[in-house]
Chains A and B, each alone.
Chain A
Amino acid sequence: MKATAKWLLICLAVIPAVAAFAQETHVGTLTGHAAEGKKHYRRYCIGCHGPLGDGNGENAQWIDPKPRDFTAATFKCRSTPTGTLPTDQDLFNAISRGFTNSNMPHWDPLTSQNRVDLVAYIKTFSPRWQSEKAGDPIKIPAEPAITMQSITHGYELFQKMECWKCHGQQGRGDGPSASTLTDSKDNPIRPYNFAAGADDSRFKCGVTNEDIYRIFITGLDGTPMPSFADVIQPNDAWDLVHYLRTLQTNRHSKENEVLKAAGGKIPTKAPDSNPPAQLDNKGSGSGN
């Protein structure tokens, strides 16, 4: 066979393989394919997310928050820095976990393979996935011990970073800016209310301390919640996580136990120009 013909044949064989490979996703030991995912999408997802993946499914008009627009390739719950694409694992987690307090269910009835295939299909809705790789997941150091010192320092950060402006001094989502917040599609949106919910006080991007860490370090893209990666150091971030857990007054947690054992009050410094309310963690059901 002539050299050029051979070369051409190889190229023709490789190109579709590459194209198919680009549509593959990898989560754990599973590999997902968009063609398979499409079938599941059209059965389970299309009603809300729409045939074009832009969040304009039939149901979208009646639900709030609105379904994710996959064409924008902007995602809330990621392990990657703000402005970057999430990893396959991030998307897999979003489908599996669902989004609490929204119409996105946790898709346990679908097998892991189904969900990995769906992730592959979702990535076909935006050209960004062709030209860009997923961001590098943030590095999370080992969690230090939960102590009053950690919680107190976390409280100081909460004040310094002015989280209370949206989240409110008790984290109830009632800060001065809370009622004016809109997401990137101009829909009204409320900040997370730490004191709401039952014993587990779930939040949209997970349930663990590491999930909370990721939330404020990577920010929730598409929402008012910014990334604090440039302004909070990793160890300080853990202190903030521990403090935030004490705002979840309805949740049994090591943090709430430590706080209760220390008397239930966080020592505050001398008042500054914006004196915060004195914290009193004697809320019902805390640390029993």
Chain B
Amino acid sequence: MQTKQLLVLLLVILVSPALLFAAGTVSGKITYTGTPAKMKPIDMSKEPSCAKQHTTPVTTEAVVTGPNNTLANVIVYISAGAPDESATPTQAVTFTQKGCQYIPHVLAMHTGQELKVVNDDQTSHNIHPLAKVNREWNKSQPPGTPPLSEKFDKEEFIPVKCNVHPWMHGYFAVLKTSHAAVSSDNGTYSLPNLPPGKYTITAWQEDYGTQTQDVTISGSETKTVDFSFKAKPY
């Protein structure tokens, strides 16, 4: 009897954390309907040190599509119901300038989270986040200088540009939550580590705007939440 009781106890001990700390996942795919505008080719001839880094033609990145009508670079995040909103992650996010482009094109970060901006090119860039809610600043970053360290205090989708290279465009999505993801090259995203609860998921695409859906997580299941945006022809 003792062994049996012990075994049951062990089982309960092993299983209960999973029940107590059940974490679900919301994942899905972002697609579009209609025909998206053609991306424009970028002429980098005025910046030879960048032009030579690209072997294939470079285009603007306002709408990046993947196979089967999917959309990349869509930010998907918990806009309501997110747990631990006040916890600012301690690790930094990195924004890199390489080949006179921003990598990644859209970067999600928590308010107050450290942003590192790296210049990986042989030319000077200036980082100019055109913030309207946060402070607007503008800093020069010549090649070979250390990464810049900045942060934003308020929630905002901030367009970023380089004045020296007018084709460079990116976005900072400063969010009140760390539960955010950027859709991949084939339009998929995943938001793991969600405790049971009701959530509002918002998807944001820089040209197509936002969409929201509600989802409820009850345990450690994976719920699928797909978004479909109407493409604009121009």
Contacts and interface: CB of A to CB of B under 8 A. Distances in A.
Interface of A: 72, 74, 82-84, 160-162, 165-166, 176-177, 180-182, 184, 219, 221-231, 273
A82 B139 contact: yes
Interface of B: 46, 49, 123-124, 126-128, 130, 132, 135-142, 145, 148, 163-166
Given A161-B124, A165-B164, A227 B130 contact: no
A162 B139 contact: no
A219 B163 contact: no
Given A162-B164, A165-B164, A177-B165, A230 B139 contact: yes
A120 to B, nearest CB: 22
Given A72-B132, A161-B124, A230-B148, A177 B140 contact: no
A231 B148 CA distance: 10
Contacts of A184: 128, 130, 136
A228 B136 contact: no
A165 B137 contact: no
B140 A226 contact: yes
B163 A226 contact: yes
A82 B139 CA distance: 8
A114 to B, nearest CB: 29
Contacts of A273: 49
B58 to A, nearest CB: 16
A130 B158 CA distance: 23
Nearest to A183: B163
Nearest to A132: B135
Nearest to A185: B130
Given A162-B123, A177-B46, A184-B130, A227 B139 contact: yes
7 contacts: A83-B135, A177-B163, A221-B136, A226-B127, A226-B138, A230-B139, A231-B145
A188 to B, nearest CB: 11
A222 B129 CA distance: 10
Nearest to B132: A72
A226 B139 contact: yes
B123 A83 contact: no
- Among B49, B123, B126, B130, which residue has the most Cβ atoms of chain A within 10 A? B126
B137 A231 contact: no
A231 B141 contact: yes
A226 B126 contact: yes
A231 B127 CA distance: 13
Contacts of A84: 135
Nearest to A177: B164
Contacts of B142: 160-162, 231
Q: Which 10 A-B pairs have the closest CB atoms?
A: A83-B137, A224-B163, A226-B126, A162-B124, A83-B135, A180-B166, A226-B140, A226-B138, A82-B137, A176-B46
B51 to A, nearest CB: 13
Contact of B128 (A160, A177, A226, A229): A226
Contact of A177 (B135, B141, B166): B166
A226 B137 CA distance: 8
